[in-house]
């Protein structure tokens, strides 16, 4: 079950757990799930419009991922704004080989882009993100692809790699785009349009937008991606400061928007390992060995 929910991550994670148990059987094992942060989503956000019994009997619902990162950078944005996290309404965008965005209201996740598995949502390194579910039938009829083959294609052969045809790493895609590579340019445009569309959709769970936060390898380092995305968010009144964006907000506490922007946008480096360590420490503190 866990393998099917996150086929790029869980098989390797389970190997690590089994080996740790074999080599260090007396060592406490603590699993920190990045789905936990999203357990505050309301039913209207986590339910799919499928027969309700599938949720009741099989847990078919949206779970979300990258919760540790979204939680960490939301607190980072609060510190930069000089306000309590509980008073803020934010959208955070974790952009790396895996990508997700999250609407955070008063410190709690109220919606996110990933779903039952990390395949849903944004365009990623090798994952397609949102796609018509009937693609499985379409490819079966047109190419004879099995369910397993199409699932593998959408997880391992799509996203930036599928669109560009050459690279799943945004650094490589941007380098090719700068050399006038047409499909790399197309991959960048699709990535940014999907991201902007998702950010706008997440705002449906908020009353206002106090800040937009970029994090992850792409979010922290790809100025062009932030530029093209904010360009598509003009309806929110966001105004990019291109000089600040070029330096990733280094001289303005991470801020990359102009002072006249309706809401600020920040670059906030994530630290998922620190959140995991803190959660593990808290768990050990409340479960002292007998």
Whether 278 has a pLDDT exceeding 60, the answer reads yes
Is 34 assigned a catalytic role?
A: yes
The verdict on residue 57 lying in a domain is yes
Whether 10 has a pLDDT exceeding 80, the answer reads no
pLDDT of residue 288: 62
Structural domain range at position 150: 32-286
Residues 188-196: what's their mean pLDDT? 98
Domain at 179, CATH number: 3.30.420.40
The verdict on residue 159 lying in a domain is yes
Which of 34, 167, 210, 241 is an active site residue? 34
pLDDT of residue 285: 87
pLDDT digits (tens, 9 = 90+) for 12-68: 888 888 898 899 888 888 888 899 999 999 999 999 999 999 999 999 999 999 999
Q: Which two tokens stand for residue 13?
A: 């994670």
**Under DSSP, is residue 214 helix (H, G, I), strand (E, B) or coil?**
strand
The verdict on residue 9 lying in a domain is no
Supply the mean pLDDT for the chain.
95
Least confident interval from 2-6, 206-210, 242-246: 2-6
Task: Give me the number of domains the chain comprises.
Answer: 1
DSSP alpha helix (H) spans, 52-120: 52-58, 67-81
pLDDT digits (tens, 9 = 90+) for 172-183: 999 999 999 999
The verdict on residue 85 lying in a domain is yes
The verdict on residue 12 lying in a domain is no
The verdict on residue 139 lying in a domain is yes
pLDDT digits (tens, 9 = 90+) for 237-270: 999 999 999 999 999 999 999 999 999 999 999 9
The distance of Cα 270 from the centroid of its chain, to the nearest Å, equals: 12
The verdict on residue 21 lying in a domain is no
pLDDT of residue 195: 99
Query: For residues 241-259, b (16+ Cβ closer than 10 Å) or e, as one string?
Result: beebbeebbeebebbbbee
pLDDT of residue 6: 66
The verdict on residue 13 lying in a domain is no
Would the CA dihedral through 141, 146, 152, 157 be positive or negative? negative
């Amino acid at each position: 079950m866990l393998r099917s929910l996150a086929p790029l991550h869980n098989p390797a994670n389970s190997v690590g757990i089994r080996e740790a148990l074999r080599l260090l059987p007396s060592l406490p094992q603590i699993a920190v799930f990045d789905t936990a942060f999203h357990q505050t989503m309301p039913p209207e956000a986590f339910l799919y419009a499928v027969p309700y019994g599938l949720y009741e009997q099989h847990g078919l619902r949206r779970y979300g991922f990258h919760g540790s990162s979204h939680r960490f950078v939301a607190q980072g944005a609060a510190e930069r704004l000089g306000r309590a996290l509980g008073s803020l309404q934010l959208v955070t965008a974790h952009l790396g080989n895996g990508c997700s965005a999250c609407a955070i209201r008063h410190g709690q996740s109220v919606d996110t882009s990933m779903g039952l598995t990390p395949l849903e949502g944004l365009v990623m390194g090798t994952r397609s993100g949102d796609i018509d579910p009937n693609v499985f039938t379409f490819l079966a009829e047109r190419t004879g692809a099995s369910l397993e083959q199409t699932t593998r294609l959408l997880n391992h052969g799509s996203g930036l790699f599928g669109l560009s045809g050459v690279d799943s790493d945004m650094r490589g895609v941007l380098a090719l785009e700068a050399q006038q590579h047409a499909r790399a340019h197309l991959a960048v445009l699709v990535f940014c349009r999907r991201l902007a569309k998702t950010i706008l959709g997440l705002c449906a769970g908020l009353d206002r937008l106090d800040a937009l936060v970029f994090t992850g390898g792409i979010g922290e380092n790809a100025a062009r991606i932030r530029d093209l995305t904010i360009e598509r968010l003009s309806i929110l009144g966001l105004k990019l400061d291109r000089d600040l964006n070029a330096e990733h907000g280094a001289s303005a506490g991470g801020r990359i928007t102009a002072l006249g922007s309706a809401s600020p946008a920040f670059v906030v480096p994530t630290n998922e390992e620190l959140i995991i360590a803190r959660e593990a420490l808290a768990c050990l503190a409340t479960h002292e060995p007998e």
